Amino acid sequence: MEDLLLFLPLLVPVMVAQFGERHRWARYSTYGLLITFNLGLLGFAALALLNQMVVVLVPEQLDPDALAVNWLAVAGISLLTAILAFVPLFPQVRRGLARWLPIDPGSVVHTTALAFAVYQIGMSLAQMALIGSLETLTDAELALTAWDVLLTGVPLALFALIGVGIFVRRDPRSTLDRLGLHRPTGKQLLIAAGVTALLLAFDFGVNLVWQEVDPLSYDLVDRVTQHLFGNLISISGALILGLSAGISEELLFRGAVQPRLGLPLATVLFAVGHLQYGLTLAMLEILIIGLILGLIRNWASTTICIVIHATYNAAGVIMGML
């Protein structure tokens, strides 16, 4: 529940931005909130730099966990994130980006989406810097429960729904249409089953090659996965993990983000959300899977992406039980 509450302040500018399309006060308020967040990141960067100085000068003042953190990397990532998050606030930049992305340079909602894309990448990298190496994850008390997985999906779904303006700029029906939630046809469901089978085969092949090429990193990522998701190795866990991740991640990345920021950026943001696997073949696999899901979103709908994603995740857990 605490992790869920941490996301609530980030929802505020997203919600206020929905009113900014029609009301000047909301437009100015949104820019003010984004600037405040950026300044907060600058302050966090300064604190991280201070911690690094303490590590160097008086390490006895910090506990062992804090000593293990690369505070200089955290400071650098936070500083760069804050600087880059200011960039979309300039109209000239948005007009330039509009040549490559399907955005309206004058939209405060689209401005907020660009800033949050920077936040997503920067905060994910900073989180990994705070955690440290993958070896650290195998020892950390981060084993997820079914409740954890469900709560993790809630903010993603809220960002998707609020981000497209439900009850403000769109009624529920038009919200579903904007998110690409359409009733699937029988043909689409058959194709979804085939794509899921191919993705599972792809995952199996990647794992075989990975074990041969780099068995040490494969074993490390496997231990991280077992440590994080070991409590969910059951039929009920498979269903919860499949539905929670499948629905929430597809609503956000394929439903809300992709039509506005484009397929390449949405795919990168989706992959960055899985940095717990580090810069390994697993991340490359996730990037490819995200690209395939994005193409399916363009061809069919977000609904089909949800079916494929949820089935793929659930089947992966069930196969791990065999």
Label residue 221 by pLDDT band (50, 70, 90): confident
pLDDT in the model for residue 3: 57
Is residue 64 pLDDT above 90, yes or no?
no
Is residue 137 pLDDT above 80, yes or no?
no
170 phi/psi in degrees, rounded to 5: -140, 145
Range among 55-64, 217-226, 234-243, 286-295 with highest mean pLDDT value: 286-295
> What is the pTM assigned to this prediction?
0.93
Label residue 65 by pLDDT band (50, 70, 90): low
Is residue 2 pLDDT above 90, yes or no?
no
Mean pLDDT across the stretch 249-263?
97
Label residue 59 by pLDDT band (50, 70, 90): confident
pLDDT in the model for residue 150: 86
pLDDT in the model for residue 141: 63
State both tokens at 72.
Answer: 């200089």
DSSP 168: T
Residue that wins the pLDDT comparison between 200 and 280:
200
Question: What single letter denotes the amino acid at residue 70?
Answer: N
pLDDT in the model for residue 128: 84
In Å, how far are 58, 59, 66, 126 from 69, measured between CA atoms? 15, 12, 5, 11
> Token match 């405060």: residue?
108
Residue that wins the pLDDT comparison between 18 and 139:
18
pLDDT in the model for residue 40: 96
Residue that wins the pLDDT comparison between 130 and 282:
282
Query: Lowest-pLDDT range, 73-82, 83-92, 225-234, 255-264?
Result: 225-234
Determine how many CB atoms are found less than 10 A away from the CB of residue 191. 17
The enclosing H or E element of 196 equals: helix 186-213
Q: Note the pLDDT tens digit of each residue in 146-177.
A: 888 888 899 999 999 999 999 999 999 999 99
Question: What single letter denotes the amino acid at residue 94?
Answer: R
Is residue 140 pLDDT above 90, yes or no?
no
Determine how many CB atoms are found less than 10 A away from the CB of residue 209. 12
- High-pLDDT (> 90) share of the chain, %: 70
pLDDT in the model for residue 127: 84
How close are the terminal C-alpha atoms of the chain, in Å?
A: 33
> Token match 């696999």: residue?
285
Is residue 16 pLDDT above 90, yes or no?
yes
Mean pLDDT across the stretch 305-321?
93
In Å, how far are 102, 139, 190, 202 from 304, measured between CA atoms? 23, 37, 10, 19
Do the Cβ atoms of 251 and 302 come closer than 8 Å?
yes
Is residue 181 pLDDT above 70, yes or no?
yes
Is residue 258 pLDDT above 70, yes or no?
yes
In Å, how far are 85, 111, 301 from 94, measured between CA atoms? 12, 8, 28
pLDDT in the model for residue 45: 96
Is residue 295 pLDDT above 90, yes or no?
yes
As a whole number of angstroms, the distance between CA 69 and CA 50 comes to 13
Mean pLDDT across the stretch 297-307?
97
Within 8 A by CB and 6+ apart from 220, the residues are 134, 135, 138
pLDDT in the model for residue 255: 98
pLDDT in the model for residue 225: 84
State both tokens at 146.
Answer: 């079914």
Is residue 102 pLDDT above 80, yes or no?
yes
Within 8 A by CB and 6+ apart from 51, the residues are 62, 66, 69, 71
